[in-house]
Structure 1
Amino acid sequence: MTAERVPSLPDVIRDEVARLKGAGFPLLPLGGADGKTPLLRSWAGAHMPLARIFAPMHRTGSRAYGVRLDGLAVIDCDCDDAGLVAHLEARFGRSPVHVKTPRGRHLYYRAAGIMPNLRGEGLPVDIKTGARSYVVGPLSQRPDGGAYCPVRGLLGKDALPLLRGASQARAAPIPSGNRHVELVKEAMRMVELVDSAEELQANLAGIRDDWCEDPATMPDSELREIAGWAWKCRLENRVYRGRDSAFPMHRMAVDALKGQPNGADAIALLVLLLDQHGHSPGKRFPLAFDAIRAAGLVNMSAARLRAARRTLEDVGLLRLAGKHRAGSRRQTFVLTRMRPDLADAERLPIRSATVQGKGGGKG
């Protein structure tokens, strides 16, 4: 096979693409800022000719291509740890083809059955497979200098074994009525483990194709919407991970409290209230200081806590929401946000930037 010459593409990469194409592997051109984004929208159909692979690479100066995983499975390790690789090969069988990636390693196999979720087992590893999945191909070079270097065997030359240990019994599919919600949950689980919204969308496409009922009726545009929303949550620090997560505290609030006589106590109380109630905008809650102290949440006296509460009310960070009614209702409060341009009566409930995993797109 004669490969079309791309002036910006090193001969070694061009020849490797031509060799793998001749060996029957379905390939696609990659590029973008990370060097891992498909340069063609419709890439998951029939095998494309070399001219269609090389043309966008030539246009963009890309030196990266992807290997589509039709009938293939790739164990994608986030770190190049010899112990981890040995553990994986003991479990799934020895792979004759290893490619070192900028972060870790790719181990190639032939696909067999349903792949286990290794992330769920706490391993920094994905198993990628399926016609809508791909990995960056051997010898590719990313714009940041990251390279994909073969370190064992040669793809297309060494026979790939079936990946051992895949489940042959297909689990019950995700029902059509639950697909969007379940994929939103999966997106939030995976969003901090991928490098781009496009990679997240490709992972969601694999889940849709393999686990969702009637996947043909769930368009790529819906997956793009979910992936984009989840990626935005990551960029804005709005991924809620229970106790292993962060919550925002406005600097204007800290500035307003610093000059108060008991400002340190008020800041401590505000941090506690944001932690306990800030994730639910407009939430009303009582302030039972004896119970707070008994739970070990603070070590201040009830008198100091009441003074701190009054300070938060005075500067507009806490508002009385419901009055006490003897024997039937406790006094309740709501957190508010600092807005010096608004009158006290116009202050709005404070909004935390945490996300509970429900939402995105159609919800």
Structure 2
Amino acid sequence: MVGDDLKFKDYLKDRLLYIVFYIISTTLVIVVMMLDLIIKGEKLKVSNIAYAYILSTVFLVLLITIDYMKKRKFYSAINDGLDSYENLEYIFNIPNNISREHNMLKELLIKDYKVYQNTLEKYKKSYKTHADFNNRWIHQMKTPISVIKLILENEKDKNIDEATKKSYESIEEEMEKLSNGLEMALYTLRVNDFEQDFKVEEINILDIVRIIINENKNAFIVNSIYPKIVSNEDIVVKTDKKWIKFIVGQIISNSIKYSKVKKSKDKSIVINIHKEDDKVILSIKDNGVGIPSQDLERVFNPFFTGENGRVYSESTGMGLYLSKDICNRLGHGIDIESTEGIGTTVNIVFHHGKSIYNL
């Protein structure tokens, strides 16, 4: 009975055939005795028949009770296994010497568990090998990108014509996309080892926002997007600096991506940081193309690009998924509001007093 506890009534149901045959055999014995007495000209008293049935039933109940009590620990261990969806250690709590049949079943479960563990270990080693290779490759690719960016900066400082300068800026923008893609791949790998790669500390969230805006200044300039920060004071939150920088960076990158394609001269991204009751809210609002209403509920799903992804090929569908995943682990909230053709607002909520890092 998968998903249900094995109770005494279930035990009886499984042995119903034995009980029926026991009653039939008892009845046959009594019938044979009655026929024998009839042949001899005697009669079996009703009280004797009743006594035979009562005595037989007592022995049957006693037998069933003893057998159930003997196997109850086995059923209890099995019930624990049915209630546990993540732990297979219950197998080792199954008692021995209930019966040969039960011992064989336990041996089979232990064997399956060991096969599962060995297979899982092989997959873990294989995944780690691929992850380590990808990690090293990404870091190696960052070096030539940095060199190319530096060369472009130096070339732009020279006395060049406007057409060449625009070409350099276009190359810079494409290099920025490549750099962001590598960063996305790197953090996708790192999130699987999140518990070993985070450090909670008090940080000024305004400083993080300024760093990210500075890192994306070329994209803002090339696409004529005006970033604006609204904050009356420096606000400190408890979080992991590296991970929150990635989250905010992804959201701002998305805002740039879906603002630059809008045919409007007044393109802006407004970043608002404010306190509200016992929480701090970081709000990133753009006036880009927005998200269709039918896609809003699925934007945090992995690889989901929606209608915008079919129109604008730069979408990967991983940025918001990773942001949501990391926020959940850090104990932060994240939500999104959008109107197609008007713009999108993403809110990151830092809760005071809420436990950091939710396993």
TM-score range, shorter chain: under 0.3
Query: Which of the pair has the greater relative contact order for Cα pairs under 8 Å at 6+ separation?
Result: 1
Larger Rg: 2
Q: Normalised by the size of structure 1, how large is the TM-score?
A: 0.23
Q: Normalised by the size of structure 2, how large is the TM-score?
A: 0.23
Structure 1 or 2: more helix by fraction: 2
